[in-house]
């Protein structure tokens, strides 16, 4: 993110003055940044969170510059400059932020607080939204998209999102080092079927890594051919109808929606190419470690643009880039990437990028080198659900409830769940009949709330019973 500035690489290697790394303060309100080369997308870079200012005295107090994991980010220590301040953080349970009294534009901030709930299950998140426990969700299970489109279209929002979902290929694996095998796998994926009948969330088929019209650039190069070409390539590589091809594992992170997509692609390869692949699910941190160490065959991945420019997608596969994670390298691709980054003229830059994209395609079509990805999925749209007039739904319009899958963990209803398990012994067969998959169990959970254990602060007892009744109904849908 900062490689375009001054001599930042020298700073990484050792101490240097501020001006040596390209930054200087001309006065208390002005920062001067010197670039080492033309960077057409530099202003877009400044929108990324890595450029957000931090309070250095607080970080130094807790030795945050020299060590990771220090306490400068804890609610009682953190100093920020945004419209909200963090007041509570219980890992894997809740994050609470409240309106800042010192924010420069605080009069325009309408909410007094926001509660963020880390939710592992998309199904649980949707049930909590439906029962009124959340005002806004991070996503929606694929099975519920058509339901909301039909029954509650005003609650469903599908907006464009600058990102691409694709499959990484570990080209250091002997059976995947042959470009013909990789191209056959790519050609056998029916992207239109995935986006129309499997995903259903407004995504569009992707035939290039960079989404269309990214800063005015739309890639034109794409693989040619269909299923017959795919089968011919596989036969030419020595694996007719998938025979003798070593088993391929497809890695995907824990995600209900991701599992559905992976299973659909698995079936396409089995049906069209005779290839039986195994799906491997891993928790997010383990999944990242597997990719970083190249301990995988194929990996379902997604890249969301850090800034609005093709470079945010294309530089991932530069040799030795930390996000490459495929073992793929192409000297011509690297050269064109550097050339495009230094070209100020936009039309000339687009032409260079097109040649760069074509260099990747030629690595497949010309059997010359290695290709890093199967561009298999689609450009995602941001899909979320929200209640109308959400600011009036709780505590006289002061608090906004948000659920999302950005942290793996349980909810506050874990407390109810534990008490519900004790009562489960008394509920017996009744509880087994009305099992609630939203974090509690049937009658036991209802009794737990009735005894006064709330799902969230300020939840009336009668409201708690209604919530759990809703959970029970939801578990039967």
Last residue of a domain, one of 360, 379, 398: 379
Q: Are residues 340 and 426 in the same domain?
A: no
Q: Are residues 342 and 426 in the same domain?
A: no
210 inside domain: yes
- Residue 239: give its domain's CATH number: 3.10.105.10
Secondary structure, 3-state, 432-476: HHCCCCCCCCHHHHHHHHHCCCCCCCCCCHHHHHHHHHHHHHHHC
Supply the range of the domain harboring residue 15: 1-36
Q: Are residues 375 and 416 in the same domain?
A: no
- CA distance linking residue 257 with residue 73, whole number of Å: 32
Q: Are residues 346 and 439 in the same domain?
A: no
pLDDT the model gives residue 359? 60
pLDDT the model gives residue 207? 85
Q: Are residues 357 and 473 in the same domain?
A: no
pLDDT the model gives residue 182? 93
Could you give phi then psi for residue 27, rounded to 5 degrees?
-160, 175
pLDDT the model gives residue 257? 78
Q: Are residues 356 and 440 in the same domain?
A: no
pTM (2 d.p.): 0.70
**What is the count of structural domains for the chain?**
3
312, containing H or E segment: helix 311-314
183 inside domain: yes
122 inside domain: no
DSSP state for residue 250 in the 8-state scheme: E
Q: Are residues 352 and 264 in the same domain?
A: yes
Q: Are residues 170 and 315 in the same domain?
A: yes
Q: What angle do CA 348, 41, 7 make, to 5 degrees?
A: 105
Q: Are residues 449 and 355 in the same domain?
A: no
Which parts of the chain sit beneath pLDDT 50?
8-13, 18, 362-383, 389-400, 404-421, 424-425, 427-477
Q: Are residues 349 and 426 in the same domain?
A: no
399 inside domain: no
Q: Which residues contact 20 (CB under 8 A, 6 or more apart)?
A: 6, 7, 10, 11
129 inside domain: no
pLDDT the model gives residue 358? 63
Last residue of a domain, one of 379, 401, 428: 379
| Predicted confidence (pLDDT) per residue in 444-470, tens digit | 444 433 343 333 333 333 333 333 333
pLDDT the model gives residue 41? 85
151 inside domain: no
405 inside domain: no
CA distances from 145 to 111, 123, 246, 280, 474 (A): 29, 12, 37, 26, 15
Last residue of a domain, one of 336, 361, 379: 379
CA distances from 244 to 237, 240, 279, 453 (A): 11, 8, 19, 59
pLDDT the model gives residue 228? 94
Strand order in the sheet with 113-118: 84-90, 94-99, 113-118, 399-404, 136-137
pLDDT the model gives residue 446? 43
Q: Please say whether the beta carbons of 165 and 301 come within 8 A.
A: yes
134 inside domain: no
Q: Are residues 269 and 345 in the same domain?
A: yes
Q: Please say whether the beta carbons of 141 and 121 come within 8 A.
A: no
Q: Are residues 184 and 230 in the same domain?
A: yes
pLDDT the model gives residue 85? 94
């Amino acid at each position: 993110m900062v490689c375009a500035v001054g001599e930042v690489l020298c700073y990484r290697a050792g101490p240097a003055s501020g001006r040596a790394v390209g930054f200087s303060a001309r006065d208390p309100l002005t920062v001067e940044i010197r670039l080492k080369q033309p960077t057409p997308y530099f202003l877009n870079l400044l929108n990324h969170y890595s450029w957000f200012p931090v309070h250095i005295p607080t970080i130094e107090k807790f030795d945050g510059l020299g060590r990771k994991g220090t306490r400068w980010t804890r609610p009682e220590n953190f100093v920020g400059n945004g419209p909200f301040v963090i007041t509570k953080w219980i890992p894997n349970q809740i994050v609470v932020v409240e309106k800042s009294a010192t924010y420069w534009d605080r009069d325009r901030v309408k909410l007094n607080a926001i509660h963020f709930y880390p939710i592992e299950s998309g199904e649980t998140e949707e049930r909590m939204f439906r029962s009124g426990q959340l005002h806004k969700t991070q996503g929606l299970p694929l099975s519920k998209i058509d339901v909301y489109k039909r029954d509650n279209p005003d609650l469903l929002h599908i907006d464009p999102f600058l990102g691409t979902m694709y499959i990484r290929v570990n080209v250091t694996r002997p059976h995947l080092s042959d470009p013909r095998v990789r191209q056959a796998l790519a050609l056998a994926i029916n992207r239109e079927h995935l986006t129309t009948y499997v995903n259903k969330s407004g995504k569009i088929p992707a035939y290039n890594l960079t989404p269309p019209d990214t800063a005015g650039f739309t890639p034109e190069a794409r693989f040619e051919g269909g299923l017959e070409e795919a089968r011919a390539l596989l036969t030419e590589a020595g694996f007719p109808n998938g025979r003798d091809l070593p088993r391929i594992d497809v890695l995907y992170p824990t995600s209900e929606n991701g599992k559905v997509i992976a299973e659909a692609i698995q079936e396409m390869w089995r049906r069209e190419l005779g290839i039986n692949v195994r799906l491997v699910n891993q928790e997010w941190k383990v999944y990242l470690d597997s990719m970083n160490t190249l301990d995988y065959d194929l990996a379902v991945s997604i890249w969301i643009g850090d800034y609005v420019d093709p470079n945010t997608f294309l530089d991932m596969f530069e040799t030795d880039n930390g996000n490459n994670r495929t073992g793929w390298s192409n000297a011509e691709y690297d050269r064109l990437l550097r050339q495009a980054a230094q070209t100020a003229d936009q039309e000339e830059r687009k032409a260079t990028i097109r040649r760069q994209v074509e260099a990747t395609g030629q690595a497949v079509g010309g059997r010359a080198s290695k290709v890093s990805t199967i561009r298999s999925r689609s450009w995602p749209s941001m899909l979320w659900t929200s209640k109308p007039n959400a600011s009036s739904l709780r505590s006289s319009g002061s608090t906004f409830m948000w659920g999302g899958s950005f942290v793996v963990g349980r909810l506050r209803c874990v407390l109810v769940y534990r008490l519900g398990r004790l009562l489960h012994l008394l509920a017996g067969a009744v509880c087994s009949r009305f099992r609630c998959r939203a974090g509690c169990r049937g009658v036991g959970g209802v009794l737990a709330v009735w005894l006064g254990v709330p799902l969230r602060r300020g939840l009336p007892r009668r409201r708690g019973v209604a919530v759990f009744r809703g959970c029970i109904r939801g578990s039967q849908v």
